[in-house]
Structure 1
């Protein structure tokens, strides 16, 4: 052992000093790091707060109990898990490289990570299907798509995502990693085998995103055709006017949710492109952290999009923040005027 190695061993701190296999402890301090941790903590709090507003709004106000809003609720719950669990855990890992919560908690966090992110994308895919049916056949939409049917699809979606996350982590040996994969005691690292990286890319990114983009291309094409047909109609009956209003509102909703999809792609494409690199995790740690947090911030952006484009969200947030929801009749408050 040379002098440099001896000095390193004498000054190095370990996660578990009493364990010979302990990982080396690294605590990041300094003004720059403190500013970074404060900023990321602020993002985490905002993510939880904004998605809670969406969840409470849709759950509390009866006027918002629609199939589309149930899907938005599902998306908000998945985003809430990101802000409530994944962001704080990653901030802890940036501050202190040691993992003190044990193997069981590590496996649970990894499971929540895959589960919530998969549920988020699947929710957007169901939203795209919902908007396609609403635009393609607006008059019979209410009979084809009901709250009950949507609830069943959401239950199936979350069950599938949980099963997929478990299978993915099980075959990657992340739930119970063998001894030869554990570098030291006190780390919580996700190992992804290269074949499974491609499986995840195809199953949980390329396929659903392709379906979403194809559906939205049909949505805007059909909406454009219907708008032209309505404007050129000679018979200005009440039914025609009702159809026009329906098409207009459905098109606006489709555009808003289309923005949600575009933001999702912007946040996640860099992460998946970096994951296809053959480099090791250690040499890619900075890139993975930057792109990983960009992907997490997608969960913060969705409720902001609702706040900008949805009047009902702004109205419901106002009622919630002013505590008017404590009134006995608050669930029946009118958040927007329905066209009849």
Structure 2
């Protein structure tokens, strides 16, 4: 065991000293660039929370998931990213061993909660598009509240418990210097935590999205059949058909938007979680700078979520503009936003 530990320590790329890590110019550049990321994460997500809390028209089952997602992402920006930024730029950890554990726990918990919410939104959209008749039954207020609770409780269980009790580093056998806060995990924890936090939610999202995509294609065929029928003058009760066609078009766009959100989610989180599993099997030989880049890619997902959900939804866009303009008096977003279908252009 002693020899094994020794080789581990030799292979691991631990920073030897912090003061010589970066010159002044690169530090100023990094602080500026990463601070912009922190500010946009906090402001963007705060706007989403405020919009849904303030405007009755935006309060729907889907948007409660979006609101809870925005709370998780906003907390990533407030509680996790500023300390990660100092660690990335300085190469040192100035806040002590206990706070390092607390920071790692919050990091794992909030990023996992964010990912869980994304899969709940995909699940919610699946019922809205593929089983609209049972949607209100399946997504009752109690069911939504229960799913939101699950999105917070499971991440808490896989983060705070193991990390605060040092279970995540069992069998790691590496002595980390006091002024370094590195999140090294054992092979068992790496596989289990990454599966729960990323790979399982990703599978849920991919399956839901694939089914929505198939339903959207089917609906597109129905639309073109209906349009040719109307063109040949057969279509009676055209206002009802037009309404139906608009609904189907909207849901088709919803599927497209969901695809963009899925793509962004996978591109930004896949590198980190893949490395998280691979690293313990390569004797923790990954360079610190690669960890930093992959971790910040994941954080960027939290800052992009409000823009992805907000920009693709006209009701959210309008709410954002009204809030930014602080025009709080006698507001009605507009009639078509009364029952907003999130993920529609």
CA change 1:297–1:133 in 2 (3 A) is: same
1:39-54 alignment runs, 5 A limit: 39-54=33-48
- The whole-number CA distance in structure 1 between the counterparts of 2:285 and 2:19 is 15
Does residue 32 (structure 1) correspond to residue 26 (structure 2)? The answer is yes
Does residue 107 (structure 1) correspond to residue 101 (structure 2)? The answer is yes
Q: Counterpart in 2 of 1:334? A: 333
RMSD over aligned Cα atoms: 2.8
Greater relative contact order (Cα 8 A, min sep 6): structure 1 or 2? 2
Q: Counterpart in 1 of 2:212? A: 219
Q: Counterpart in 2 of 1:268? A: 269
Q: Counterpart in 1 of 2:197? A: 204
**1:174 Cα offset (Å):** 5.6
8 Å CA contact 2:100–2:181 kept in 1: the answer is yes
Q: Counterpart in 1 of 2:127? A: 133
**1:48 Cα offset (Å):** 0.9
Which of 306, 319, 343 pairs up with 1:316? 319
Q: Structure 1: where are the runs of 5+ without partners?
A: 1-22
* TM-score where L is the length of structure 2: 0.81
8 Å CA contact 2:97–2:178 kept in 1: the answer is no
- The whole-number CA distance in structure 2 between the counterparts of 1:58 and 1:206 is 29
- The whole-number CA distance in structure 1 between the counterparts of 2:307 and 2:37 is 12
- The whole-number CA distance in structure 2 between the counterparts of 1:36 and 1:292 is 15
Greater alpha carbon shift after TM alignment, 183-192 vs 88-97:
183-192
**1:61 Cα offset (Å):** 0.6
**1:24 Cα offset (Å):** 4.9
Q: Counterpart in 1 of 2:57? A: 63
* TM-score where L is the length of structure 1: 0.82
Aligned to 2:167, what secondary structure does the other structure show? Answer: coil
- The whole-number CA distance in structure 2 between the counterparts of 1:109 and 1:314 is 33
CA change 1:168–1:229 in 2 (3 A) is: farther
1:261-308 deviation digits (Å, cap 9, x = unpaired) = 110100112222323144455642111111111111111222222343
Which of 278, 297, 301 pairs up with 1:298? 301
Does residue 146 (structure 1) correspond to residue 140 (structure 2)? The answer is yes
Aligned to 1:232, what secondary structure does the other structure show? Answer: helix
**1:127 Cα offset (Å):** 0.9
Aligned to 1:191, what secondary structure does the other structure show? Answer: coil
- The whole-number CA distance in structure 1 between the counterparts of 2:124 and 2:176 is 47
- The whole-number CA distance in structure 2 between the counterparts of 1:338 and 1:47 is 25
Q: When the two structures are aligned, how many residues end up with a matched partner? A: 313
- The whole-number CA distance in structure 2 between the counterparts of 1:152 and 1:283 is 39
Q: Counterpart in 2 of 1:118? A: 112
**1:40 Cα offset (Å):** 0.9
Does residue 188 (structure 1) correspond to residue 181 (structure 2)? The answer is yes
1:70-117 deviation digits (Å, cap 9, x = unpaired) = 111122122112222222111111233343333332222111111111
